[in-house]
Structure 1
Amino acid sequence: ATKKAGAEAISNGDNGPAKGRELEIADLLRYIKNAGITNTVWLTADVHYTAAHYYNPDKAQFQDFNPFWEFVSGPLHAGTYGPNDFDMTFGPELKF
């Protein structure tokens, strides 16, 4: 039997069009774009690594959003070993 990897955060792990709980993020990102909100930054935690992710609509399956940054950090002494493989629905790029 093929083992399917678990989902990371909001993603469903299939790299395809937004579906399921990803639709909530897609709706929020579309709203932010249509409202003309710019320079959106997301701050997240509850992990044991530090990272900077750039979400690029040009590399995403769902493209109706403006690009944005997500900065992730856990404890101050967290490593930079990084997250699991990305689901490309929203086009994330690991920058740090």
Structure 2
Amino acid sequence: MRILIVGGTGLISSEIAAAAHAAGHDLTLLTRGRSSTVTPPPGAASIVADATDPLALRDALREYRDRGERFDAVLQSIAFTPEHVAQDVETFAP
């Protein structure tokens, strides 16, 4: 599967990314690019954006959509409010 993990370098999401990589999935991590403690799994693609800023997030994903690329699954591990979840549904549903 092609999986987009929003995060991937945090306490929980890094373990999920490692497990998905070990299972052979194709990973793309969307991070702020600031983590110095956890490195992405080998071969994982990276997108740098602030997931709490819906416009920045959509801009960062536009390149993938413009090329016709899609993800089979999205793991969002940093949604804190119902509004944030609603924005994520709008962002990732297409």
Q: Tell me the TM-score normalised to structure 1 length.
A: 0.29
More helix by share: 2
- Structure of greater Rg: 1
Q: Tell me the TM-score normalised to structure 2 length.
A: 0.29
